[in-house]
């Protein structure tokens, strides 16, 4: 179960969340009447905000605003820096850096597993490698990219794979293209992508995100 509350401060949002769960005919009562066990010890609290305040120890720097725990059913739940919800890692600034790192790690793992099929002499055909990448690696790596990748595409445009957060995904794409084509490690990514017959990363993200 996921609940979302918005308020002028974390304390106000916490009060809204607590009321949503503890008021009569709320989720807690519904779970009891439907014999659904709700384990409060697995409940996580993520307080998302990009607001910052001056650092009391160093006035020249800023730090994130203070966060506050929430009390539900007599139990205190401290705020977490990030939490995985429906397969997407949400952090306290909604930057999705943890999700991006997890996507790159998953893509690297599946790309490495595809290497055993990519031998030049006895491996499968290039068209089959392209289909394997499109049907297996991309859905696994870019799961829910329309949630966490849309802002990245809009902010970086056509430069999504050459700088910033897109670099980590570009490495996975480059690894697959070099494995598929058998090209040298000094081959540029653009040339390897063209010979592997797969979409460049900006177009791939745009197709999934929009």
**What pLDDT does 147 receive?**
82
Among residues 136, 113, 126, 133, the alpha carbon closest in space to that of 196 is found at 126
**What pLDDT does 207 receive?**
79
**What pLDDT does 119 receive?**
66
Residue 93 tokens read as 């600034």
**What pLDDT does 162 receive?**
47
Residue 13 tokens read as 């949002």
Q: Confirm if 133 and 114 have CB atoms less than 8 A apart.
A: yes
Output 91-94 pairs: Cβ under 8 A, ≥24 positions apart.
91/46, 91/48, 92/46, 92/47, 92/48, 92/49, 92/64, 92/67, 93/48, 93/49, 93/50, 93/64, 94/48, 94/50
Instruction: Please say if the pLDDT value at position 145 is more than 80.
Output: yes
In the predicted model, what is the mean pLDDT of residues 58-69? Answer: 87
For the chain, helix (H) and strand (E) counts, in that order, are 10, 6
Instruction: Please say if the pLDDT value at position 182 is more than 80.
Output: no
Reported pTM? 0.73
Instruction: Please say if the pLDDT value at position 158 is more than 50.
Output: no
Average pLDDT over all residues of the chain: 80
**What pLDDT does 161 receive?**
47
């Amino acid at each position: 179960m996921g609940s979302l509350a918005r308020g002028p401060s974390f304390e106000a949002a916490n009060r809204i969340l607590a009321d949503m769960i503890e008021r009569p005919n709320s989720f807690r009562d519904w779970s009891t009447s439907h014999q659904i066990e709700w384990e409060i010890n697995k409940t996580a609290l993520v307080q998302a905000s990009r607001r910052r305040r001056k650092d009391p120890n160093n006035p020249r720097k800023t730090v994130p605003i203070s966060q506050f725990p929430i009390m539900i059913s007599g139990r205190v739940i401290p705020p977490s820096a990030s939490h995985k919800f429906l397969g997407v890692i949400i952090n306290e600034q909604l930057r999705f850096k943890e999700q991006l790192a997890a996507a790159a790690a998953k893509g690297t793992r599946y790309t490495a597993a595809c290497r055993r099929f990519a031998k030049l002499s006895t491996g499968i055909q290039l068209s089959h490698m392209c289909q394997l990448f499109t049907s297996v690696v991309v859905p696994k790596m870019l799961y829910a990219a329309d949630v966490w990748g849309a802002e990245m595409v809009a902010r970086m445009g056509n430069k999504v794979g050459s700088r910033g957060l897109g670099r980590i995904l570009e490495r996975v794409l480059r690894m697959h293209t070099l494995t598929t084509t058998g090209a040298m490690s000094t081959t540029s990514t653009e040339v390897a992508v063209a010979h592997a017959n797969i979409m460049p990363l900006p177009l791939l993200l745009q197709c999934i995100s929009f």
